[in-house]
């Protein structure tokens, strides 16, 4: 709603989101080095960039972790830390793309992440 435009073709803003070891968003940075993400560098899209950064700043993640198992012990599911001798929370960096569009005054946002 911060964007004063009445119409906006699909416009993609990309962010790199740094998540700390506790699962909180430490910071987000615009990604503009890919052809599909260059809109984030355009001055007229500053309200979109700010909206995306404000949204991700409120997100909370489950902590990412490195599971340390006893020598020779291999977990059945490498994504499960049950039975680990030590669990080490770690920071991670994630990438998201937000596509903003305004059609007949209706604001739409779609998100893709990895």
Say which residue the tokens 């699962």 belong to. Answer: 23
Question: Whole-angstrom Cα distance, residue 12 to residue 110?
Answer: 9
Question: Whole-angstrom Cα distance, residue 37 to residue 99?
Answer: 10
Report, as an integer, the average pLDDT of 85-110: 92
Percentage above 90 pLDDT, the chain: 68
Q: What is the pTM of this model?
A: 0.82
Across the chain, mean pLDDT equals 91
Q: For residue 46, is it within any domain?
A: yes
Q: Contact at 8 Å (CB) between 26 and 20?
A: yes
Is residue 22 helix, strand or coil?
Answer: coil
State how many domains the chain has: 1
Q: For residue 109, is it within any domain?
A: yes
Distances (CA, A) of 109 to 46, 52, 72, 100, 112: 15, 10, 48, 5, 10
Say which residue the tokens 């059945």 belong to. Answer: 76
Q: For residue 101, is it within any domain?
A: yes
Q: Encode pLDDT of 42-83 as tens digits.
A: 999 999 999 999 999 999 998 899 999 999 888 888 778 888
Domain that holds residue 19: 8-62+91-113
What is residue 108's predicted lDDT score, i.e. its pLDDT? Answer: 87
């Amino acid at each position: 709603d911060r964007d004063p435009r009445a119409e906006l073709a699909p416009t993609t803003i990309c962010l790199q989101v740094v998540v700390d070891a506790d699962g909180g968003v430490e910071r987000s940075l615009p990604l503009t080095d890919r052809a599909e993400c260059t809109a984030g560098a355009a001055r007229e899209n500053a309200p979109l960039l700010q909206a995306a950064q404000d949204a991700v700043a409120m997100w909370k993640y489950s902590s990412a972790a490195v599971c340390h198992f006893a020598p020779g012990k291999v977990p059945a599911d490498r994504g499960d830390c049950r039975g680990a001798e030590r669990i080490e929370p770690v920071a991670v960096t994630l990438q998201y793309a937000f596509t903003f569009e305004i059609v007949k005054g209706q604001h739409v946002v779609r998100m893709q992440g990895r």
